[in-house]
Structure 1
Amino acid sequence: MVTANVKLSKNELELVCGASFILTKNNIIAKVYQLFGDLQPGFVLENERLHTLLPSEVFAPSPKIYKGEQYQGLPYVMLDTPRYFGKEGAFAIRCFFWWGNFFSISLQLSGKYAMDYAEKMIMQMASKQYDDWYICVNEDHWQHHFEETNFLPFNAASVEAYRNLKSDQVPFFKIACKIPLTKWEEASDFFNDKYSCLIDLATECIGC
């Protein structure tokens, strides 16, 4: 006799007795891999605009796609390029797929890169239309969800919340944009457009 905590509900029993759900899930993840793989060449070309503005080591790591099963209990896929996480700080752009939630893209700076460029980027964003972007107000800048404890829509109030983070935390700056998974057919255009937007922002602020 199995104990109560390992008994299956009717729905769970139906799922465990069938293979279609897992096979479909694997097929979807494979398509996200393909989507991110198709985006890489264009992203690498966009990165060329930053090569003369940032140290060469920032671009030394090649683009990387990787997946997991347990971000808040759900599968995810990530593409990072650039993906520099060094002793002096981080400079990374991350494309993110989160099962049951959204596609997102984020720029993450920490250490010297945040200290050198964060305020310039905030000023640049404030002077243009970044209404669909969010700024991270969480001390843990490795989180990806868009709850109000992590990301807030970019505006004067959220920028102030970002600046009010504990001063003893490692300096960081993170902005992100998302679309729902119901807009699957628009995902490629979304990532290309927003990636160009981030590179534009970086070149304007780092090059000034």
Structure 2
Amino acid sequence: MENFDLTPEEAAIVYSPGVIALKNSAIAKVMQLMGRLQETLAAAGSHFPFEPVWLQQGPKISRGEQYKGLPWVILDYPRYFGKTDVFAFRSMFWWGHYFICTLHLAGNVKERFAGHLCKGYEKLAAAGFQAYLAEDPWEHDFEDGNYQFIGDMRFEDWKLMVGRNGFIKLAKPFGLEHWGEIITGIAEAYTTLLNILNDEDQV
């Protein structure tokens, strides 16, 4: 027989509409933060020679309630999602966990920058980036061994990682306790990535 009785913890939330109001207020502030982050990233990338095709899709901020059962907010900027080619920098807030910034390259875009990524091994490792290990490119979090620190890989293993799939994702988490430093932290990570991708000496 099903039990519909609330636990004391559940009842405390159900009887307190203010909890949801606070949650909605917090999400609204994350949306505002993402808007300011987009402006900061645009300024940081103003000297990077983006191809016109990558600028056809403008910035996008989206939100939802159920990434693995919890609310989330995502900024995709810059973003280009083609049938097989991807060039995207994704900044994500995941309720109760962390912020994440991720560079996602796929298809011909990944091939174009593969040499830059290989040669950028030491810079990526020093900056604390992690490489995505799983096969599904649409998992976003650091749970269940999805990522490994590039600094924990040998250079030869890193080169194999760059070439093993039709896509690659590099990411870095930022703890929620660093809320006031999120924009600066993600912008610095973005600048590091752009410098590696744009460094003609890397290839």
Give TM class, smaller chain. Answer: 0.7 to 0.9
Paired with 2:11 and 2:133, the residues of 1 have a C-alpha distance of 41
**Alpha-carbon offset, residue 207 of structure 1:** 8.5
**Alpha-carbon offset, residue 132 of structure 1:** 1.2
TM-score (norm 1): 0.86
Paired with 1:29 and 1:152, the residues of 2 have a C-alpha distance of 29
Query: Does residue 124 of structure 2 align to residue 125 of structure 1?
Result: no
Q: What residue is the counterpart of 1:163 in the other structure?
A: 160
In structure 2, which of residues 3, 25, 28 is the aligned counterpart of residue 27 of structure 1?
A: 25
Q: 1:10 to 1:128 in 2, by over 3 A?
A: closer
Q: 1:204 to 1:192 in 2, by over 3 A?
A: same
**Alpha-carbon offset, residue 163 of structure 1:** 3.0
Compute the RMSD of aligned alpha carbons: 2.6
**Alpha-carbon offset, residue 186 of structure 1:** 1.4
Contact 1:131 1:154 in 2 (8 A): no
Counterpart secondary structure, 1:7: coil
> May I ask how many residue pairs the two structures share in their alignment?
202
Q: What residue is the counterpart of 1:16 in the other structure?
A: 14
Query: Does residue 81 of structure 2 align to residue 81 of structure 1?
Result: no
Letter in 2 for 1:73: G
Identity across matched positions, percent = 30
Show structure 1 runs of 4+ deviating over 4 A. Answer: 164-167, 205-208
Contact 1:106 1:175 in 2 (8 A): yes
TM-superposition CA deviations, 1:57-109 (whole Å, max 9, x none) = 11111111111111111111110111100124100001111111111111000
Q: 1:99 to 1:205 in 2, by over 3 A?
A: farther
Letter in 1 for 2:27: I
Q: What residue is the counterpart of 2:109 in the other structure?
A: 113
TM-score (norm 2): 0.88
In structure 1, which of residues 193, 198, 201 is the aligned counterpart of residue 193 of structure 2?
A: 198
Q: 1:108 to 1:166 in 2, by over 3 A?
A: closer
- Structure 2: give runs of 5+ residues left out of the alignment: none
- Structure 1: give runs of 5+ residues left out of the alignment: none
